[in-house]
Chains A and B, each alone.
Chain A
């Protein structure tokens, strides 16, 4: 853990591991207090009404308990793993069907055996992505963040930056191009 009390990626991964192997409720409580409010905010930002956002945030956290043993640090960082659970539950919600299984099975087929090497590569990828996000210009970071959240965000960005919609779309492409250059440049 860092000095400011905010758990870092390694600490979060360790907590998930403790939930998986020991069903450790204190570890779970720490994960919950860190992630639930962020999930709640994230899901609201992605356009869900606040009560639905909170329900799904809760569902995500229950999935974290249930599926902790599926967490594979060689595949994704803790926040990335939890993000993908939230994304899938949000999609399920929007399609009004309950299926927690499909995404998981699909991913399972793709998987190769984890190794020390992939673990390192994953940690490196997480760091690289975060570094690249920090290096983007403020406008590009805004464009990217907003466009990640919803389709409506394109028009939201258009309003915010006072640009026509078509221009926003090309700015999204530019921001992605820049991100790509940053990601490749560091690797």
Chain B
């Protein structure tokens, strides 16, 4: 899988800084899982965080803070070694595969994948619910071959990660593993390539423009 469309530095920095909202952060997590190049660039921004942390002028903790830390550690050491990480694993309702036998990206395994619904224009959509943020709007889209979407702009940046198939717009061709970041100034007209349907994961940052394409697409089933 050759990845041609990567995350921008700004997005990677915001992810490293912990500023990217939950939806776009998940889209990026799916991209990162398949993109060693962006992982290595992210590591650089993590290192920026480390450098900024070390450069902070120290703000003293309360005088008894270290003693309290040692007490907390003692309490931990005496507690039974539990297995806290396994508690909320393996949700039975999550399908292991997407339509067409496409594997569900590992970075979505702890999400609730909603039913696929036909929403017109040759498009089906499934709402993805994140355990860390139930309000986050994250959508799987499944678009028929050759389907042309109307021109659309949006408020905020739209993050789209291709999972299978491909689409093209004025900015290039996006295949599996590619990430498209379209900010609000950009009007673009994605067309799914004729050789097969395209499954992608999309999240919008910022408020939704209700009469916009994405708004019409998502609103009917997200707000149930």
Instruction: State the CA gap A76–B49 with chains docked (Å).
Output: 11
Inter-chain residue pair count (beta carbon < 8 A): 153
Instruction: State the CA gap A181–B210 with chains docked (Å).
Output: 39
Identify which of residues 1-49 in chain B touch chain A, using a CB-to-CB cut-off of 8 Å.
9-10, 13, 16-19, 22, 29, 32-33, 39, 43-44, 46-49
Does A71 lie at the interface of the complex (its beta carbon under 8 Å from any beta carbon of B)? no
Instruction: State the CA gap A183–B13 with chains docked (Å).
Output: 14
Given A84-B46, A177-B9, A54:B65 Cβ within 8 A: yes
* Structural contact, A61 and B19, CB atoms closer than 8 A: no
Instruction: State the CA gap A57–B60 with chains docked (Å).
Output: 11
Which of B10, B29, B43, B54: most chain A Cβ within 10 A?
B54
Does B57 lie at the interface of the complex (its beta carbon under 8 Å from any beta carbon of A)? yes
Of all chain B residues, the one with the shortest Cβ separation from A183 is B44
B interface, size bucket? 35 or more
Does A37 lie at the interface of the complex (its beta carbon under 8 Å from any beta carbon of B)? yes
- In the assembled complex, the CB of A6 is this many whole angstroms from the nearest CB of chain B, namely 9
Does B92 lie at the interface of the complex (its beta carbon under 8 Å from any beta carbon of A)? no
Does A105 lie at the interface of the complex (its beta carbon under 8 Å from any beta carbon of B)? yes
* Structural contact, B49 and A148, CB atoms closer than 8 A: yes
- Comparing B66-74, B168-176, B211-219, the segment that makes contact with chain A is B66-74
* Structural contact, A80 and B47, CB atoms closer than 8 A: yes
Of all chain B residues, the one with the shortest Cβ separation from A51 is B62
Instruction: State the CA gap A128–B56 with chains docked (Å).
Output: 19
A interface, size bucket? 35 or more
- In the assembled complex, the CB of A127 is this many whole angstroms from the nearest CB of chain B, namely 9
* Structural contact, B57 and A82, CB atoms closer than 8 A: no
Chain A contacts for B112, CB-based, 8 A: none
Chain B contacts for A44, CB-based, 8 A: 59
- Our pick among B52, B56, B72, B132 for the contact of A99 (Cβ within 8 Å) is B132
Does B50 lie at the interface of the complex (its beta carbon under 8 Å from any beta carbon of A)? yes
Does B76 lie at the interface of the complex (its beta carbon under 8 Å from any beta carbon of A)? yes
Chain A contacts for B133, CB-based, 8 A: 95
Which of B57, B73, B106: most chain A Cβ within 10 A?
B73
Given A57-B61, A109-B33, A176-B9, A148:B52 Cβ within 8 A: yes
Instruction: State the CA gap A41–B88 with chains docked (Å).
Output: 33
Instruction: State the CA gap A141–B217 with chains docked (Å).
Output: 41
Chain A contacts for B66, CB-based, 8 A: 29, 32-33, 36
Does B99 lie at the interface of the complex (its beta carbon under 8 Å from any beta carbon of A)? no
Given A80-B49, A99-B132, A105-B85, A37:B58 Cβ within 8 A: yes
Given A109-B106, A176-B9, A76:B50 Cβ within 8 A: yes
- In the assembled complex, the CB of A136 is this many whole angstroms from the nearest CB of chain B, namely 11
Of all chain A residues, the one with the shortest Cβ separation from B18 is A87
- In the assembled complex, the CB of A133 is this many whole angstroms from the nearest CB of chain B, namely 6
Enumerate chain A interface residues (CB-CB to B < 8 A): 25, 28-29, 32-33, 35-42, 44-46, 50, 53-54, 57-58, 61-62, 65-66, 75-84, 86-88, 90-92, 95, 97, 99-102, 104-106, 109-110, 122, 125-126, 128-130, 133, 144-145, 147-151, 172-173, 176-177, 179-180, 183
Enumerate chain B interface residues (CB-CB to A < 8 A): 9-10, 13, 16-19, 22, 29, 32-33, 39, 43-44, 46-54, 56-62, 65-66, 68-70, 72-73, 76, 84-85, 88, 106-107, 110, 131-133
Other than the given A110-B32, A129-B44, 7 more pairs (CB < 8 A) read: A57-B61, A77-B50, A80-B46, A81-B50, A86-B53, A87-B16, A144-B48
